[in-house]
């Protein structure tokens, strides 16, 4: 069937759906109930069938921030078939995740997200299955003890990145000069390498010390899947109008499914390899996350199926790869636009660590200014600016407004972190605001809050700290052609930079001996 026929069918469907919608009483099942409810204010101009979708521009978090300026810290939207409440104040966010934490522990079923992840940790409804997944993630896979044991993996992968940057800088730069380096790809490879080693004891790069990059086949598949799937989750029309899923003229559904099949095939191969290693008898202290799950499978095979294990591991890859690399990229961008802050961070590392070795995870507690830089980066550019959406499992009140059961909750962490009522000069990069406990008690939720808070926070902060500290310790960084780094925000779940970061990089003389020995 040609494209013209598809378009004709699509338009016919839209016409019939509009007629049906107009003949129905507005408000659907909640219409009678909503008359007696005090609902949050809503923008005017909602359209039949579409609701407020025509008002939503990209980036989504910025569009919602602008709507909040006109309609207040809690307002409602109609996104296709789904009602949503948007919260943009610290007080209301705390109320949602403390007083109503159980009520908002559910996730809305977003079709594109379900295609990509299935019923995994991030998307499962609140209940026994989710509680078991959460317990496994927090106790077995991402506990403080296990993250502490992963510090060797993190440091080894960061050293490998530093070695590749040093090699590229040495090869490309004239004596005493600087080489032009793109950091996004290198940081993505780093975060993927850490997770691949931790989850499946495999490498994301081939063992070639002189190579600028040489990603393994498995790593290439994961990168392609993230590149193909992430921009589409939550951004296709049938996420808001599910009936249109069967009139997918541009083939988005098939593209997501094809990418997921490639990812799952790789995960099954890695799982089979871990099963063979487990059968050969490996040291319990050196077990990968997959090996831990396979051990649990032996006692409860009906719970820890291969499908459940691959879905959970896919969720860990999706949640931990781009979020970590994007955070370091934003931090480096901020530092290059604020060279005085970069110099101060470098001086702190020189004093605390010296020039005879590279920074490691044990140094992080003593690097207070570096921690302030990370905190300020997460304030300005949280990895998930809207967190993940929640859904009310029962009627409740937020900020004095009624929120009916089934309403999606969007918490705009980006707007909350820049609230001028809370933060002085909120758009300015000022790590000092976190020094000496000055920001204690001020609301920040870059990893979420409550029952659905990201369980990988400790691993993410350790990876970001060691990676950022190593880049500062080992190299001098400058802006390309002396121009300000473009800080435009892209669209997506993880708020990537619209323009990938490129920088002029020169190895610090004091660190040459250390880097040469890597």
All domains of the chain, ordered by start, with CATH? Answer: 131-516 (1.10.630.10)
Residues 29-76: tens digit of each pLDDT: 444 455 678 999 999 988 888 899 888 888 899 999 999 999 999 999
What is the reported pLDDT for 31?
46
Could you tell me which of 47, 80, 357 has the C-alpha nearest to residue 241?
80
Tokens coding 34: 């909503």
Residues 238-282: tens digit of each pLDDT: 778 776 666 666 678 888 899 999 999 999 999 999 999 888 776
Residues 427-454: tens digit of each pLDDT: 999 999 999 888 888 999 999 999 999 9
Which one has a higher pLDDT value, 226 or 479? 479
Could you tell me which of 46, 110, 108 has the C-alpha nearest to residue 78?
46
Please state the pTM of the whole predicted model: 0.91
Alpha-carbon gap, residue 438 to 433, rounded angstroms: 6
What is the reported pLDDT for 207?
57
Tokens coding 47: 């359209």
Could you tell me which of 447, 478, 479 has the C-alpha nearest to residue 461?
447
Lowest mean pLDDT among 186-190, 297-301, 438-442, 508-512: 438-442
Residues 190-214: tens digit of each pLDDT: 999 999 999 998 877 665 544 555 6
Q: With cut-offs at 50, 70 and 90, classify the pLDDT of residue 7.
A: low
Tokens coding 474: 């080992």
Is 454 within any annotated ligand binding site? Answer: yes
Tokens coding 122: 């991030």
Q: Are 102 and 93 in contact (CB under 8 A)?
A: no
Alpha-carbon gap, residue 287 to 122, rounded angstroms: 24
Q: Are 256 and 248 in contact (CB under 8 A)?
A: no
What are φ and ψ of residue 85, in 5° steps?
-115, 130
Beta bridge partners of 397: 402
Residue with tokens 């008359």: 35
Which one has a higher pLDDT value, 229 or 403? 403
What is the reported pLDDT for 114?
84
Candidate ranges 77-81, 125-129, 377-381; pick with highest mean pLDDT = 377-381
What is the reported pLDDT for 49?
81
What is the reported pLDDT for 28?
40
Q: Say yes or no to pLDDT of 26 above 50.
A: no
**Average pLDDT over the chain, rounded to an integer:** 88
Q: With cut-offs at 50, 70 and 90, classify the pLDDT of residue 284.
A: low
* Cα angle value 304/306/310 (rounded, 5°): 100
Residues 397-421: tens digit of each pLDDT: 999 999 999 999 999 999 999 999 9
Q: Are 179 and 168 in contact (CB under 8 A)?
A: yes
Could you tell me which of 422, 424, 334, 420 has the C-alpha nearest to residue 381?
334
Q: Say yes or no to pLDDT of 163 above 70.
A: yes
Which one has a higher pLDDT value, 231 or 270? 270
Lowest mean pLDDT among 71-80, 168-177, 450-459: 168-177
- Span 471-487, average pLDDT: 96
What is the reported pLDDT for 241?
79
Q: Say yes or no to pLDDT of 231 above 90.
A: no
Say whether 144 sits in a helix, a strand or coil.
helix
Candidate ranges 161-175, 214-228, 353-367; pick with highest mean pLDDT = 353-367
């Amino acid at each position: 069937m040609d494209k013209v026929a598809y378009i004709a069918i699509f338009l016919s469907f839209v016409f019939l759906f509009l007629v049906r919608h107009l003949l129905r009483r507005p408000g659907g099942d909640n219409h009678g109930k909503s008359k007696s409810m005090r609902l949050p204010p809503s923008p005017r101009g909602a359209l039949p069938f579409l609701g407020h979708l025509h008002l939503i521009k990209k980036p989504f978090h910025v569009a919602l921030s602008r709507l909040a300026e006109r309609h207040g810290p809690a307002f409602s939207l109609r996104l296709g078939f789904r009602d949503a409440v948007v919260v943009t104040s610290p007080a209301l966010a705390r109320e949602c995740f403390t007083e109503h934490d159980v009520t908002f522990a559910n996730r809305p079923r977003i079709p594109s997200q379900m295609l990509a992840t299935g019923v995994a940790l991030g998307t499962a409804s609140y209940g026994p299955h989710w509680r078991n997944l959460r317990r496994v993630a927090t106790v077995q896979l991402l506990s403080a003890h296990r993250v502490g044991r992963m510090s060797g993996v993190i440091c080894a992968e960061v050293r490998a990145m530093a070695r590749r940057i040093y090699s590229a800088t040495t090869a490309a730069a004239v004596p005493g000069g600087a080489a032009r380096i793109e950091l996004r790809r290198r940081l993505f490879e780093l975060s993927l390498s850490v997770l691949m080693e931790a989850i499946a004891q495999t490498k994301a790069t081939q063992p070639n010390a002189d190579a600028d990059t040489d990603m393994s086949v498995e790593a290439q598949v994961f990168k392609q899947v993230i590149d193909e799937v992430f921009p589409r989750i939550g951004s296709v029309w049938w996420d808001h109008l599910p009936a249109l899923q069967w009139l997918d003229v541009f083939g988005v559904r098939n593209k997501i499914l094809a990418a997921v099949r490639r990812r799952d095939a790789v995960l099954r191969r890695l799982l089979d390899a871990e099963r063979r290693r487990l059968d050969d008898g490996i040291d319990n202290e050196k077990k990968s996350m997959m090996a831990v799950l396979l051990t649990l499978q032996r006692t409860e095979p009906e719970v820890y199926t291969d499908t459940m294990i691959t879905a959970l591991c896919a969720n860990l890859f999706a949640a931990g790869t781009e979020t970590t690399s994007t955070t370091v990229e934003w931090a480096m961008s901020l530092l290059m636009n604020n060279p005085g802050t970069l110099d101060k961070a470098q001086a702190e590392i020189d004093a605390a660590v010296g020039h005879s070795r590279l920074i490691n995870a044990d140094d992080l507690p003593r690097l207070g200014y570096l921690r302030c830089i990370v905190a300020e980066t997460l304030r300005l550019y949280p990895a998930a600016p809207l967190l993940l959406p929640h859904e009310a499992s029962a009627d409740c009140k937020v900020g004095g407004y009624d929120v009916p059961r089934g309403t999606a909750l969007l918490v705009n962490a980006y707007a909350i972190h820049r609230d001028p009522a809370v933060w002085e000069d909120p758009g300015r990069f000022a790590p000092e605001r976190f020094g000496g406990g000055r920001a204690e008690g001020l609301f920040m939720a870059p990893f979420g809050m409550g029952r659905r808070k990201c369980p990988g926070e400790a691993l993410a902060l350790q990876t970001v700290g060691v990676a950022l500290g190593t880049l500062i310790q080992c190299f001098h960084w400058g802006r390309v052609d002396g121009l300000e780094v473009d800080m435009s925000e892209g669209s997506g779940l993880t708020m990537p930079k619209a323009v990938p970061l490129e920088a002029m990089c020169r190895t610090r003389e004091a660190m040459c001996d250390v880097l040469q020995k890597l």
